[in-house]
Amino acid sequence: MSKEPYQFSRVAEEMIGDLRRLPFQEPRRQRKRATKDLTTVVEELMEKFKVGRDSPENTIRENWRDLVGPANAAYSNPVSIERGRLLVLVSHAVVRSEIFHHREAIAKKIQALPGCKGVRNLNIRAG
């Protein structure tokens, strides 16, 4: 039965350090948090960064040619989803214009894909 050591308040730790003549080196604004198991931390990181899991971005990339057509797909690339907006980098001005004009239809096709309901619209940038 392992017991966690008692946590003194910051003031108490400063006083103990003064009595022992040890400098108090923790930053004033630092917060101490409970230690987590490594398995919990790794699982949270794998979920956050979609390691080994299907992500909406990967699903969109796999179906990009079907969504925008092969000619437009050659000059465009879906990058990431942030706050319901899919960032699309386009390297040709005509293709950028074409995707911009059809962005609502493309967004509806994306929403029909599994796991992509959260994509509401497109953010089209030159790149």
CA distance 107 to 120: 6
Q: Radius of gyration (Cα) for the chain, nearest Å?
A: 25
Is residue 99 within 8 Å of residue 88, measured between CB atoms? yes
pTM: 0.64
Token pair for residue 115? 């796991």
pLDDT digits (tens), the chain, 127 positions = 567 778 888 888 889 889 998 887 878 787 778 888 999 999 999 988 878 878 899 999 999 999 999 999 999 999 999 999 999 999 999 999 999 999 999 999 999 999 899 999 999 999 8
- Give the rounded distance of the alpha carbon of 87 from its chain centre: 13
Torsion of CA 10, 14, 17, 19, to 10 degrees: -130
Q: What is the pLDDT of residue 2?
A: 64
Domain 56-126, CATH number (from 2.60.40, 3.40.1420, 3.10.450, 3.30.70): 3.30.70
Q: What is the pLDDT of residue 1?
A: 57
Q: What is the pLDDT of residue 32?
A: 75
CB atoms < 10 A from the CB of 32, how many?
Answer: 8
Residue ranges per domain, the chain?
10-48, 56-126
